Structure 1
Amino acid sequence: MIEINKALEDYILGHSENEDQVLKDLNRETHVKMLRPRMLSGHLQGKFLKMICQMQNPKRVLEIGTYTGYSAISMAMGTSSDCEIHTIDCNDELEHFTRKFFKQSGCEERIKFHIGEALDIIPKLTGEFDLVFIDADKRQYIDYYETIMPLLKQGGFILADDVLWDGKVVNETENHDKQTRGILEFNKFIQEDSRVENVLLPIRHGLMMARKK
């Protein structure tokens, strides 16, 4: 497998569709004003999420882990005007910043922004979802997965971010931190789950794609 160095990453980005201006602004402001800007999905993953939505044409999308809204806006840009996107984040301090960019994107009315713990909010949501994107607390990935599975349509997709976790998943040390253990347990759980078919993609920090049979 090719190692993605800075030069190759620049080449990949140079041969992918340009970043939308609102996302470029969001990317820049997140890096200037926010702690841990690395949590932002970014251009390559944003374009991938947008194209997945364009291929699937979902009518209801659920995102766990909004951060500053880059991935939610990317998915909104890839869906039709009648698609409803629910996104959940537990950090209420980011709400004003994130809502500002939802409004600037022109997708504000279709994005339903929930503030609170995902495991408390998801059971209160009604209706089924065509697509779910998980990018939150790695220690709770299996809990998120099991909570959303009853709401996922047959043939629907779950995408989970950070499943390669900077390569820590192949570090054989026994002293894994809790986040790394959460990712390792989640990857094993998905691989053994007969309810889905799955593929792990080396996009950004690793993206697990699972389709409900």
Structure 2
Amino acid sequence: MIVNERVVSYINSLDRGNSDICNIIEKEAIEDQVPIIRKEMGNLLKVLLKLKQPKSILEVGTAVGYSSILMSENMPVDCKIVTIENYDKRIPIARNNIKRAGKEDCIQLIEGDAMEVLKELEGPFDFIFMDAAKGQYINYLPEVLRLMPHGGLLISDNILQEGELVESRYVVTRRDRTIHTRIREYVYELTHNDELVTSIVPIGDGITLSVKN
């Protein structure tokens, strides 16, 4: 945890909750040990959606559809979401959850490898949420930038990896060194790419907010 646990507990104690269907899906995901966004991340997404008022949203990494549904409840009525998922076992669950939430008209789930799907998309997407395989973020970035208009917002989740990102690669367990290196490369690119203005925010498991110039 990168933020004091007592601070997080206090922040979450003020949470007003979400819709019944989101609460149900969240409970099911936790029981099934499916990783979904944390409460504080969900609340930040709500604020960013209200500020940005996007016309189109792209999500890379659907999981069981929780964050897509949460975003759909807080976006403008004429906004659409395209979300990409490659894990066969989660795709039918996500589709069913989207149906349960009554969001089939505004959420389009595309099955397939994110890299291949991104190449086929035309965009533009003025609000992009990256929450997929962290080691692939750096590979997705060129296509993501292509799909973003000027002023578009890119949110990348799980950037600080429970604080491990700040450690030397030799301190990190051998099996995690590749992802550690790739996320560091990604964060460096976000913060040094002239096309972007980026802030690293230590909320949840760490996120980056990047706006395209």
Q: TM-score, normalised by structure 1?
A: 0.92
Corresponding residue for 2:24?
A: 25
Quote the offset at 1:8 in angstroms. 2.7
C-alpha displacement at 1:203, in angstroms?
Answer: 1.1
Q: Which residue number corresponds to residue 51 of structure 1? A: 47
Structure 2 contact 169–181 (Cα < 8 Å) conserved: no
1:10 deviates by 2.2
1:144 paired residue number: 140
Q: Which amino acid aligns with 1:206?
A: G
Q: Does the Cα contact within 8 Å between 1:85 and 1:112 map onto a contact in 2?
A: yes
Alignment of 1:1-213 (within 5 A): 3-5=3-5, 7-34=6-33, 37=34, 39-174=35-170, 175=174, 177-213=177-213
- Cα pair distance change 1:106/1:54, threshold 3 Å: farther
CA distance in 2, matches of 1:105, 1:54: 20
Which residue identity does 1:169 align to in structure 2? L
Identity %: 27
Distance 2:68 2:14 in 1: 23
Conservation of the 8 A alpha-carbon contact between 1:61 and 1:130: yes
Question: Matched residue pairs, number?
Answer: 208
**Structure 1 runs of 4+ off > 6 angstroms?**
none
C-alpha distance in structure 2 between counterparts of 1:3 and 1:32, whole Å: 24
Whole-Å separation in 2 of the counterparts to 1:154 and 1:71: 24
Q: Deviations over 1:36-93 (max 9, x none)?
A: x3x2113221121122111111111101011111111111111122111000011121
Q: Which amino acid aligns with 1:186?
A: Y
Distance (Å, rounded) in 1 between the aligned partners of 2:90 and 2:166: 33
Aligned equivalents of 1:129, 1:142: Cα separation in 2:
18
- CA offset at residue 31 of structure 1? 1.9
Deviation at residue 211 of structure 1 after TM alignment? 0.3
Tell me how far 1:173 sits from its aligned partner: 3.6
Task: Verify the 8 A CA contact 1:50 1:76 in the aligned structure 2.
Answer: no
Letter in 1 for 2:65: G
Aligned to 2:4, the other structure's residue is in SS state: coil
Q: CA RMSD in A?
A: 1.6
Q: Counterpart of 1:107 in structure 2: which amino acid? A: K
Cα shift at 1:3: 3.9
In structure 2, relative to structure 1, the CA distance for the partners of 1:103 and 1:137 (3 Å cut) is: same
5+ residue gaps, structure 1: none
